[in-house]
Structure 1
Amino acid sequence: MSNLEIIHAYRKLLRAALRAVQFSQPSRSTVTAALREGFRDTRAAGGAGFDAERVRRTVWFLNAAAQRRGLEHRILKNLCRVRWERAREASKTPWRVTVREEQLRKEGKRKARDPDVISGTQYQHYDLTIAMLNDTMGLCLR
């Protein structure tokens, strides 16, 4: 797989995705970040994860999402929203709150929180659903 083909695929996907989200924020930055992350993984694997047919079908999917507000548009809208929420959750707790809780715990004024059993599993079903959608339709959505 040549670098030129990977660059062309990236540009086609980026153009189609930006048209599909109508260049709106925060969807634009979410789509761009997801696309960059996906292509960084492909480059690290030396192009082994790159499939031109999947890229072509994904561009069709994104063009359909841009043309009308149907199922494709709603799927893309929800993908962007969940990805944005995940990124927001990761940076939700400010460092000052974390430091203050540690100080209170050391002083004995506050007990340590019990580890939450569900905290690491809230997106497992969602990720499996997206993986199955990609497999059945031959797409490469993230």
Structure 2
Amino acid sequence: MSTPDLLHAYRRLLRAGLRAVQFSQPSRATITAQLRAGFRDPKGEFDAERVRRTVWFLNAAAQQRGLEHKILKNLCRVQWQRQYEVRRMGWRLRVDREEKGERKRKSGKMDPDAIKGAEFGHYERTVAMLNDTMGLCLR
């Protein structure tokens, strides 16, 4: 795809997303961050049809408080909560946890809390299935 097409797609998605969340602060920051991450992803693929359908979805979320609005609200809330947890945890604690997990993996000992670290697997699969069935590019 050409650069102007990517730029126009980014702007359309940003405008529709901000209208859908009514420019509210936590959701506005989440939408902007997710959109930036999606367009900066080197493995990402640009599909104009998916962008067009996503803009329709976001416009529908902006027009009335229906299913689209609830889905978007929950996506923003979950992403904001995930980022909040990462910001709240200090960098030393993150490094210590990663080193401890690496040592346990090498020694073969499993963590008694098997759910830790896999909390969002089901959520991510659900969002991926929603994207596939509706032809969207939500994150």
SS at match of 1:35: helix
CA deviation map 1:16-65 (0-9, x unaligned):
00000000010000000000000001xx24xx600000000000000000
Return 5+ residue gaps in structure 1 as ranges: 102-113
Check if 1:86 corresponds to 2:85.
no
22, 33, 54: which one pairs with 1:58?
54
Offset of residue 89 of structure 1: 1.1
Q: Match of 1:88, as an amino acid?
A: Y
* 1:84 counterpart letter in structure 2: W
User: Normalising to structure 1: TM-score of the pair?
Assistant: 0.81
Distance 1:83 1:53 in 2: 25
Which residue does 1:126 correspond to in 2?
123
Q: Deviations over 1:93-127 (max 9, x none)?
A: 2468x4xx9xxxxxxxxxxxx94321111000000
The CA RMSD over aligned residues, in Å, is: 1.8
| Residue 14 (str. 1) matches residue 8 (str. 2) | no
Percent of matched pairs sharing the same residue = 68
| AA of the residue aligned to 2:7 | I
- Secondary structure of 1:118's counterpart equals coil
Question: Hey, what's the Cα distance between the residues in 2 that align with 1:67 and 1:91?
Answer: 33
- Report the 3-state secondary structure (helix = DSSP H, G, I; strand = E; otherwise coil) of the residue aligned with 1:26: helix
**C-alpha distance after superposition, 1:74-102 (max 9, x if no partner):** 00000000000000111222468x4xx9x
Correspondence for 1:75? 71
User: Bigger radius of gyration, 1 or 2?
Assistant: 1
Where is the helix percentage greater, Structure 1 or Structure 2?
2
Query: Which residue of structure 1 lines up, in the alignment, with residue 99 of structure 2?
Result: none
TM-score normalized by the length of structure 2 = 0.83
Unaligned runs of 5+ in 2: 97-109
Greater mean deviation of Cα atoms: 116-125 or 68-77? 116-125
